[in-house]
Amino acid sequence: MDVAELIAAEDVLLFVNAAITGTGQREFHASEYEQGLSLAFLHRYLLVNYREFYAAALALDVNDHNAARIARNLLAEGSVTDLEGALIRRRLQELPPQRVYRLFRELRKAGINNRRVRAIVRDWLRARPDLAFDAVKYRAGLKDAVKHTHLRLDGELGTFLFTPHKSASYETPILESWRRAHHDKNAIYDLPYTVAEGFAAKRGIGREAFLTRIEPRLTRLERLRLQESGGEAVKTDLSRMPLTRLALYTLSLPLAERRTRRAELTGALRAAALRTAGTAAGTWGKVAAVLDDSYSASGSAQKLRRPLAVALACHFLLEALAGRYVPLWVSGRTDPLLARAEGPTPLGLRVLDGLDHRPDRLVIVSDGWDNAPPGLAAEVLRIWRTRLDPAGTCAIVHLNPVYDAAAFDVRRLAPTVPTAGIRDAENLPALAELARFAEGRTGVAELNAHLAARVAAFLGEAT
C-alpha cells in the first residue's frame, strides 16, 4: 500500500476518534485548555488537508460539539459544495435547537454571511415545527438568526421578537401566555420549563410547588436532570430513556438506592439495550468484554462518571448482542448495577481472562491507561495476535470513551488491536465496524467507500 494513502487513512481515523470523544471539556488526565487546543488543531488540519473527509464526518457518530464546529468551519471557508451543504442541513436537523442557535450566533459574530449561510439558516428556521415556541424559549438566538439572514417575519411573531411589550394581546397561545405571565402566576405554567423557571423565581414561587405544577410540560431530559439534582417532585419515566443516559442516571444514585431499585433499574437498562440492538440481538456469538471501572473512569467535574457510564451501557448492550456473554470488570466485581470508579487498572490481567474464554469477539471498553502493571495489556495483545492467533479468529476491538489531548487521539492499547473512540454505547456496533480501518491494512480507497456509504445512508434518511 502507498505510504501516503496509509497516512491519510490514519489521519482521518484519528480525527474521527477525536470528534466522537472530545468535547473541549476537562478530562481525568487533561485540562479544558489542553482539550480545546488539541481539538482546534485537528479541525484545522483536516479541513485544510482532507476537506472531503472532513465534511463526510458529519454523517458519522461525531458528537454535537464537533458536528457544530465542522459546520461552522466549512461555512466560514466559503465555496461550500452542494454535498457539503446537504450534509450540513441534514446534521443541523439532528442537533439540539439551542446548539444550532448558538452556531448561528457564532456565524453572525464572525461576520460569516455568504449566500450559502443565509440559505441554510433560513431553511432550518422554516423547517422548525413551532417557531413561536422557539421565539419564547430561544428568543435571543432566533432574533440573532433573523437579523443575520434578513428574514422577514410577518404578523405578531416579528412584533414579539423585536417589540414584545408593544402588543396588548397575542393570538398565538404561547406568546399570549408569555405576556400574561408578567402579571398572572397561572400563565407561568403554560410556558416551557426553562422560561417558566425564570418567571417563578421573580414571582417568589416555592421550588417544590413550581416543580409539581410544571411537571406536565417537562421534556424527557429535563425530567432526568431534575431527578439527578434532587427534584423529588419530578418522576422520571425510565422506559423512555436512551441507554447511555440511563446508565448515567443509574450511576448518579447512591448504592443503597440502586440495591432497593435493582429490579426496576436492571429491567430498564436491559430493555433499552434490546431497543438499541434491534434485529442484531443475539447475533454476535460468544462475546467477552473487559470493562474499565478503575478510578480514572470517574471522569472529571464536567464529565462526571461519563467513562464508567459508557462501560456500564456497553455491558448491557453487549449482553443483548451476544449469544453467550462473559463480562469482566477491571476491579473484579461482578455486580454491574453497583459499579463505581475505584482502584488501579489491571487491564492486562482482565484481557488474559477474557481470551481464556476463547470468545468470537473480545471488546475492551477503557480509557487505555493500563497501570497494574504498566504495559501488560499491550504485551498480551501483541503475543496473542502475532503468535497465538495470527489468523484473527477472535475479533478484538478497543473502544475508548476519553480523548487524549496530548496524543491528538484516543489512547491505544496495542498497534495490533484496532481502537475507536466512543461517546455513547448506542454507537458501539457502527464503531466496531469503523475500527477495522485502524488496523493498518486498509487505505484511503476502502475508507472512502465506507464513508461514501455512510453519507449516502445519512442523506437518504433525510429524503
Q: Are 405 and 421 in contact (CB under 8 A)?
A: no
- Count CB atoms within 10 A of the CB of residue 92: 22
- 142 and 210 in a single domain? The answer is no
Tally of structural domains, the chain: 3
- 286 and 406 in a single domain? The answer is yes
Residues ≥6 apart with Cβ < 8 Å to 113:
107, 148
Q: What is the CATH classification number for the domain harbouring 408?
A: 3.40.50
- 108 and 32 in a single domain? The answer is yes
Q: Cell triple for residue 171?
A: 393570538
Residue 290 lies in a domain: yes
Q: Cell triple for residue 149?
A: 439572514
Is omega for the bond preceding 373 within 30 degrees of 0, making it cis? yes
The amino acid occupying position 22 is G
Q: Are 389 and 360 in contact (CB under 8 A)?
A: no
Residue 364 lies in a domain: yes
CA 130 to each of CA 95, 124, 135, 137, 161: distance values in angstroms, whole numbers, following the listed order: 16, 12, 9, 11, 14
Cell 422557539 identifies what position? 134
pLDDT of residue 438: 65
- 419 and 401 in a single domain? The answer is yes
Q: Cell triple for residue 252?
A: 448518579
Residue 241 lies in a domain: no
Question: What is the three-class DSSP state of 332?
Answer: coil
- 298 and 340 in a single domain? The answer is yes
Round the average pLDDT of the chain to a whole number and report it. Answer: 89
What angle, 0 to 180 degrees and rounded to 10, lies between the N-to-C axes of helices 97-109 and 64-77? 30
Per-residue pLDDT, averaged over 63-67, amounts to 95
Residue 128 lies in a domain: yes
Q: Which of 236, 269, 299 is the last residue of a domain?
A: 236
- 221 and 354 in a single domain? The answer is no
- 180 and 204 in a single domain? The answer is no
Q: Are 308 and 298 in contact (CB under 8 A)?
A: yes
Question: What is the three-class DSSP state of 235?
Answer: coil
- 106 and 76 in a single domain? The answer is yes
Q: Are 35 and 300 in contact (CB under 8 A)?
A: no
Query: Taking 70 as the threshold, does the pLDDT of residue 98 lie above it?
Result: yes
Q: What share of the chain is helix, strand, coil (3-state, %, to 5)?
A: 65, 5, 30
Query: Taking 70 as the threshold, does the pLDDT of residue 32 lie above it?
Result: yes
Q: Cell triple for residue 73?
A: 468551519
- 147 and 191 in a single domain? The answer is no
d(CA 101, CA 419): 34
Query: Taking 70 as the threshold, does the pLDDT of residue 352 lie above it?
Result: yes
More confident residue, 167 or 11: 11
pLDDT digits (tens, 9 = 90+) for 387-443: 998 888 999 999 999 998 888 888 899 888 889 999 999 999 888 877 777 665 556
| Model pTM score | 0.86
d(CA 225, CA 245): 10
Domain that holds residue 128: 3-186
Query: Taking 70 as the threshold, does the pLDDT of residue 135 lie above it?
Result: yes
Query: Taking 90 as the threshold, does the pLDDT of residue 257 lie above it?
Result: yes
DSSP at 374: B
pLDDT of residue 441: 52
Residue 242 lies in a domain: no
Nearest Cα to Cα of residue 329 among 305, 353, 301, 306: 353
Q: Which of 186, 209, 226 is the last residue of a domain?
A: 186
Query: Taking 70 as the threshold, does the pLDDT of residue 277 lie above it?
Result: yes
- Count CB atoms within 10 A of the CB of residue 34: 16
pLDDT of residue 23: 87
Range in 198-207, 241-250, 283-292, 431-440 the model is least confident about: 431-440
- 225 and 295 in a single domain? The answer is no
pLDDT of residue 154: 76
pLDDT of residue 463: 45
Q: Which residues are 419's β-sheet partners?
A: 398
- 421 and 407 in a single domain? The answer is yes
pLDDT of residue 230: 52
Residue 200 lies in a domain: yes
Range in 121-125, 185-189, 299-303, 384-388 the model is least confident about: 299-303
> What is the CA angle 403-409-413, rounded to 5?
90
Residues ≥6 apart with Cβ < 8 Å to 135:
142, 157, 160, 161, 175
- Count CB atoms within 10 A of the CB of residue 51: 16
- 309 and 334 in a single domain? The answer is yes
- Count CB atoms within 10 A of the CB of residue 373: 12
What angle, 0 to 180 degrees and rounded to 10, lies between the N-to-C axes of helices 376-383 and 347-356? 30
